[in-house]
């Protein structure tokens, strides 16, 4: 090619580029070349009512961040409805993708369908730095350009807003405009036509003979245009006909055996279901997290509908550790979904896994048992913990690879040293504290954490923390807590190791379960499999939002109830869990909760169940059926009395009386901000809440703080308690909790004044997705508040040692528990109560003196002498559970504020002794280890059992416990006589 020709082509290219550039400047728009500076969001409603409508917008990519509410102006309306201009540069400067929810009012109000929808900023039409998106009432698709509008995306024409069968199998329609005629289709075949007799926007089509296993559509003519929609079955799910036809009582999910596995999915309205198997749990990564593409199934197997809406297929061979999905076809649309019963998954829950549970068991797992520390539910002392919080701070000093993992909270031998003082951290700290149960915030597979990213970049700090209340798979453990999320076996093995570690410390494990909603709405596998069945839907077909997260599940339906009951049975048995905490329990029905209680009793009657007796917003559950207070029963908390006495509820009346509302500056008893209502609520809660809403103290969860809202320390500081006084008030709050009739519940770190400070000097009240730097337990605070920690240890020791604090029946409370007037009773700033002892148990007097000046006194003329074991907390260290501080009788006084004084009846000293240091016992003889002891009548004693079937020397250990719970150990030796070995000489 000649040089001259090259110059000519270059000139042509430059000229053409210049023309394109000038055109782009003159027209002022571009696609995907630059991000807009301003995003205008348009929202159209057919009824023209925009009052209180707003949108919640947040950055989704490159990392998820918290959102901002933007309110539409109802008076500024054009042909596209209301609009709002978002300043991208100011509010979302680094965003690549925005999430959006359009709603009315708060989180419990109406939401547009589509759940979390996303706007990719590089896919918008940008004109002079401005982009527009267009939303229409009831439509999931939204417009991003002028071309979309020209193609009716979204569609502003007259529309069917919603259509569904009613309980009488009639089609009901909600229309945007008056319509003239209709057509009904069954599996795309026209079966009925007609005209409307009036111009109403609500219409009904009658005289239909329907088959709910078929797809029905209705097409309505508006004259110049028409609208066609699938008829929803949502109102038929609660009919007796549907329940009778499609309630299945057999096993669902995958039923594994080494020679073959059977897969079952309940999908009663589906046209077809196909099983897909995979080698990998993630389409882009193998089991070790190495990049490996597998975007098509190894095999696909058509499934057969057997009975009651269940589809089944059996696949020969050992499928252990293979992954699978279902392709489910509903209304002509096929979607690939995971198994609602998934027992494990690959990373991010994209594919279910076949599990051979025997291969996931650590050594001796089959012999593992729940610690024998609980006889009645009031024996529990619960400590609420998030998995990451225990180990994420540098002061934990455990294995770096286990930070934020199951194995981290299982690790022992960790300590922290500062200024010559060394304290235990992690699991050893929990053991030292003395609680006997740890409640773990959600450990099932939840959304909003990218397990792949956490694995690939373990040191990142953004988007690695979430409380976990957005469930995806109820029976699957969270992958981000495992050292390898790509192999679904790893999380199971590591969690079982964790349960073993806690059990070895005599600590039970309780799981926080969130059955009341699903992490997604339209996008959830439940909704894709049986549209509208698993959730409560409103009359317009939208998701009822009693959870405040976008939807609520319908536990009253037989197959939803079955899922929840089956799930708790599986989790309790497979992981040997000791209890379940039910999030927003009021969204569940009473029958479901009582059924779960019945099933737990069959496994182990000491498995504890408790939950929140409220909802997160307005719900559609029938008020009389709700397991707690809801808008539908006028917030009647006495619904708890309809539950089995083995289902407990958080006592928020008690909590608010103790410290004031969870957030804000209002105070309660410990701040000296009391009135007669709070005083009565606090007294009722201390006495078991039977005068409030429970049947017995077994249903009364007493607490001062939980993971929600401000920590107790931060609440106290926010309500006027000074830095010098805060540990006194903190310890007193928990002293009230630990001496109340019910089940005490403590928030992790409360024993060293846990705090969640923000950079602006205020405190975080909702740290559900705040970074580790906010949520982590700081072990340096244990050293700072070591006296407070020791005081909490003493209080826990007293509760465990003295049965008077653990009365479990209303009869026992009425017979033994009495409030006593103090000199400050009329001010509502002090209260006292006496619990009568038994023949072998001491009586107890408790005086809680809140924030006040002067001496608080009372008179108790019962002829007994009491040992004061606690006084004002703080740097003075005024507690002694070994020998007590001082003895009192008749008149009792407390001279300081924020003081909980516990007085324990002095009982005779236990003078025990060993009769003989060495004794001999015949082989196979009956032998009582206590027969060689001199013991006072009524002493609490325990001895090691001795087996006499084997000859040899043995050591007997006898423990004797005094009235303050202190233990003295005695030892002696025995020899079991008989041949201990035999020598046989052979030969000629």
Q: What is the C-alpha to C-alpha distance for residues 182 and 705, in angstroms, rounded to an integer?
A: 58
DSSP 10-37: HHHHHHHHHHHHHHHHHH-EEESSS--S
Pick 913-976's CATH classification: 3.40.718.10, 1.10.287.180, 3.30.300.130, 2.60.40.10: 2.60.40.10
CB 552 within 8 Å of CB 632 = no
pLDDT of residue 971: 96
Instruction: Tell me what pLDDT residue 29 has.
Output: 42
pTM for the whole structure: 0.89
In the chain, what percentage of residues exceed pLDDT 70?
Answer: 95
Instruction: Say yes or no to pLDDT of 13 above 60.
Output: no
C-alpha to C-alpha distance for 264 and 321, rounded to whole angstroms: 18
What is the pLDDT of the chain when averaged over all its residues? Answer: 93
DSSP track, 812-828: HHHHHEEEE--TTGGGT
* Same CATH fold assignment for domains 803-905 and 913-976: yes
Tokens (6 digits) for 568: 């708790």
Question: In the prediction, which pLDDT does 938 show?
Answer: 66
Q: What's the whole-number mean pLDDT along residues 757-767?
A: 93
* pLDDT at residue number 909: 75
**CA angle (923 as vertex; 919, 929 as ends), nearest 5:** 45
**What is the rounded average pLDDT of the residues 766-782?**
95
Local structure of 498: helix, strand or coil: helix
CATH tag for 38-151 (out of 3.30.70.2190, 3.90.1150.140, 1.20.120.1760, 2.60.40.1110) = 2.60.40.1110
Using pLDDT thresholds of 50, 70 and 90, give the confidence band for residue 110. confident
* Average pLDDT of span 372-377: 97
Contact, 186 vs 214, CB < 8 A?
A: yes
pLDDT at 33: 52
Q: Give yes or no for residue 614 having a pLDDT over 80.
A: yes
Asked whether residue 11 carries a pLDDT value surpassing 50, the answer given is no
Calculate mean pLDDT across residues 817-822: 98
Considering the chain, what percentage of its residues have pLDDT values greater than 90? Answer: 87
CATH of span 160-232: 2.60.40
Q: What angle do CA 209, 214, 219 make, to 5 degrees?
A: 75
Structure tokens at 303: 């499934």
pLDDT of 849 higher than 60: yes
Instruction: Output the pLDDT for position 882.
Output: 85
pLDDT band for 213, please (50, 70, 90 cuts). Answer: confident
Distance CA(584)–CA(161), nearest Å, equals 31
Q: Of 736, 512, 696, whose CA–CA distance to 610 is shortest?
A: 512
57 has pLDDT over 90: yes
Q: 382: helix, coil or strand?
A: strand
- CA-nearest of 563, 578, 579, 490 to 530 is 563
Q: Say what the pLDDT of residue 14 is.
A: 40
- Residue 421 CA neighbour count, 13 Å, CB half: 13
Residue 8: its pLDDT value, please? 38
Render pLDDT for 254-277 as a digit per residue (tens, 0 to 9). 999 999 999 999 999 999 999 999
pLDDT tens readout for residues 472-529: 999 999 999 999 999 999 999 999 999 999 999 999 999 999 999 999 999 999 999 9
Average pLDDT score over residue span 460-468: 87
Beta carbons of 396 and 389 less than 8 angstroms apart: no
First to last CA, the chain: 113
pLDDT number for residue 874: 58
Least confident of 59-68, 140-149, 169-178, 425-434: 59-68
Rama region for 568: left / alpha / beta (φ>0; ψ in -120 to 50; rest): alpha
Mean pLDDT, residues 807-817 taken together:
97
Residue-range domain boundaries for the chain: 38-151, 160-232, 803-905, 913-976
pLDDT for 835 equals 98
**904: which residues sit within 8 A by CB, 6+ positions away?**
798, 802, 842, 843, 844, 866, 867, 869, 884, 963, 964
Q: Does residue 983 register a pLDDT over 70?
A: no
For range 962-968, the mean pLDDT? 88
Fold of 803-905: Immunoglobulin-like (2.60.40)
- Rounded average pLDDT over 603-612: 98
330-339 pLDDT tens trace: 988 999 999 9
Q: Are 12 and 41 in contact (CB under 8 A)?
A: no
In degrees, rounded to 5, the angle at the alpha carbon of residue 692 between the alpha carbons of residues 689 and 696 is 40
**pLDDT band at residue 577 using 50, 70 and 90 as cut-offs:** very high
């Amino acid at each position: 090619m000649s040089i001259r020709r090259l110059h000519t082509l270059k000139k042509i290219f430059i000229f053409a580029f210049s023309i394109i550039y000038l055109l782009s400047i003159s027209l002022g728009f571009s696609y995907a070349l630059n991000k807009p500076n301003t995003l205008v969001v348009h929202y159209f409603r057919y009824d023209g009512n925009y009052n209180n409508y707003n949108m919640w917008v947040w950055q989704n990519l490159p990392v998820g961040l918290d959102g901002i509410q933007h309110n539409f102006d109802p008076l500024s309306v054009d042909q596209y409805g209301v609009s709002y201009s978002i300043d991208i540069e100011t509010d979302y400067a680094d965003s690549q993708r925005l999430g959006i929810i359009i709603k009315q009012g708060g989180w419990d109000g109406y939401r547009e369908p589509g759940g979390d929808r996303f706007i990719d900023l590089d896919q918008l039409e940008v004109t002079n730095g401005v982009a527009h998106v267009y939303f229409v009432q009831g439509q999931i698709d939204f417009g991003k350009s002028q071309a979309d509008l020209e193609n009716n995306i979204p569609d502003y024409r007259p529309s069917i807003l919603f259509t569904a069968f009613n309980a009488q199998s009639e089609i009901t329609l909600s229309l945007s405009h008056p319509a003239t005629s209709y057509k009904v289709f069954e599996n795309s075949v026209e079966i009925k036509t007609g005209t409307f007799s009036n111009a109403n926007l609500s219409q009904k089509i009658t005289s239909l003979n329907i088959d709910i296993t078929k797809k029905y559509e209705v097409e309505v003519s508006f004259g110049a245009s028409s609208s066609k929609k699938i008829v929803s079955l949502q109102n038929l799910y609660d009919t007796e006909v549907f329940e009778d036809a499609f309630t299945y009582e057999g096993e669902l999910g995958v039923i594994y055996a080494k020679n073959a596995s059977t897969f079952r999915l309940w999908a009663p309205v589906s046209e077809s279901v196909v099983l897909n198997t995979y080698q990998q749990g993630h389409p882009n990564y193998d089991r070790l997290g190495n990049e490996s593409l597998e975007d098509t199934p190894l095999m696909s197997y058509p499934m057969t509908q057997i009975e009651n809406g269940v589809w089944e297929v059996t696949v020969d061979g050992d499928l252990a550790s293979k992954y699978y999905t279902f392709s489910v076809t509903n209304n002509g649309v096929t979607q690939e979904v995971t198994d609602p019963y998934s027992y494990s998954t690959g990373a991010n829950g994209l594919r279910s896994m076949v599990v051979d549970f025997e291969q996931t068991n650590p050594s001796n797992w089959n012999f593992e048992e729940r610690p024998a520390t609980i006889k009645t539910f009031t024996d529990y002392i619960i400590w609420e913990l998030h998995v990451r919080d225990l180990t994420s701070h540098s002061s934990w000093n455990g294995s770096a690879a286990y930070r934020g993992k199951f194995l981290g909270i299982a690790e022992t031998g960790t300590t922290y040293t500062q200024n010559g003082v060394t304290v235990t951290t992690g699991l050893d700290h929990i053991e030292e504290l003395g609680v006997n149960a740890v409640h773990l915030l959600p450990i099932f597979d939840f959304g909003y954490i990218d397990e792949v990213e956490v694995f690939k970049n373990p040191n990142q700090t953004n988007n690695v923390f979430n409380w976990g209340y957005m469930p995806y798979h109820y029976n699957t453990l969270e992958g981000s807590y495992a050292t390898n999320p790509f192999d679904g076996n790893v999380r199971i093995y590591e969690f079982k190791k964790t349960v073993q570690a806690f059990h070895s410390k005599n600590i039970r494990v309780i799981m926080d379960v969130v059955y009341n909603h699903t992490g997604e709405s339209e996008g959830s596998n439940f909704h894709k499999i049986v549209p509208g069945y698993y959730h409560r839907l409103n009359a317009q077909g939208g998701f009822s939002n009693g959870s405040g997260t976008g939807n609520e599940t319908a536990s009253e339906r037989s197959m939803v109830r079955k899922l929840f009951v089956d799930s708790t049975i599986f989790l309790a048995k497979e992981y040997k869990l000791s209890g379940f905490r039910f999030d927003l329990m009021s969204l569940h029905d009473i029958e479901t909760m009582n059924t779960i209680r019945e099933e737990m009793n069959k496994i182990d009657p000491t498995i504890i169940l408790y939950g929140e007796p409220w909802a997160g917003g307005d719900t559609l559950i029938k008020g009389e059926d709700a397991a707690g207070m809801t808008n539908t029963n006028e917030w009647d908390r006495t619904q708890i009395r309809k539950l089995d006495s083995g289902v407990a509820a958080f006592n928020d009346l008690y909590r608010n009386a103790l410290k004031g509302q969870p957030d804000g500056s209002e105070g309660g008893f410990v701040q000296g901000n009391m009135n007669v209502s709070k005083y009565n609520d606090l007294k009722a809660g201390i006495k078991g809440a039977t005068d409030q809403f429970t049947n017995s103290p077994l249903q009364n969860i007493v607490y001062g703080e939980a993971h929600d809202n401000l920590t107790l320390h931060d609440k106290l500081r926010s309500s006027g308690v000074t830095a010098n006084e805060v540990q006194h008030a903190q310890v007193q709050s928990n002293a009230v909790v630990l001496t109340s009739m019910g089940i005490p519940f403590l928030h992790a770190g409360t024993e060293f004044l846990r705090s969640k400070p923000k950079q602006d000097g205020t405190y975080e009240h909702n740290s559900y997705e705040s970074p580790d730097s906010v949520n982590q337990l700081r072990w340096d605070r244990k050293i700072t508040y070591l006296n407070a920690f020791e005081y909490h240890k003493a209080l826990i020791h007293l509760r465990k040692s003295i049965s008077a604090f653990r009365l479990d029946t209303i009869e026992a409370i009425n017979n033994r528990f009495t409030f006593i007037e103090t000199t400050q009773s009329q001010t509502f700033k002090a209260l006292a109560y006496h619990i009568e002892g038994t023949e072998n148990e001491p009586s107890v007097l408790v005086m809680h003196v809140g924030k006040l000046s002067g001496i608080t006194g009372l008179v108790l003329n019962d002829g007994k002498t009491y040992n004061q074991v606690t006084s004002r907390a703080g740097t003075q260290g005024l507690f002694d559970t070994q020998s007590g501080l001082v003895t009192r009788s008749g008149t009792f006084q407390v001279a300081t504020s924020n003081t909980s004084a516990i007085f324990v009846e002095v009982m005779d000293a236990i003078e025990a002794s060993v009769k003989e240091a060495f004794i001999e016992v015949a082989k196979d003889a009956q032998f009582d280890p206590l027969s060689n002891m001199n013991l006072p009548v009524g002493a609490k004693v325990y001895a090691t059992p001795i087996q006499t079937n084997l000859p040899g020397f043995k050591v007997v250990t006898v423990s004797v416990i005094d009235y303050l719970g202190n233990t003295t150990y005695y030892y002696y030796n025995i020899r079991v006589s008989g041949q201990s070995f035999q020598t046989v000489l052979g030969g000629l």
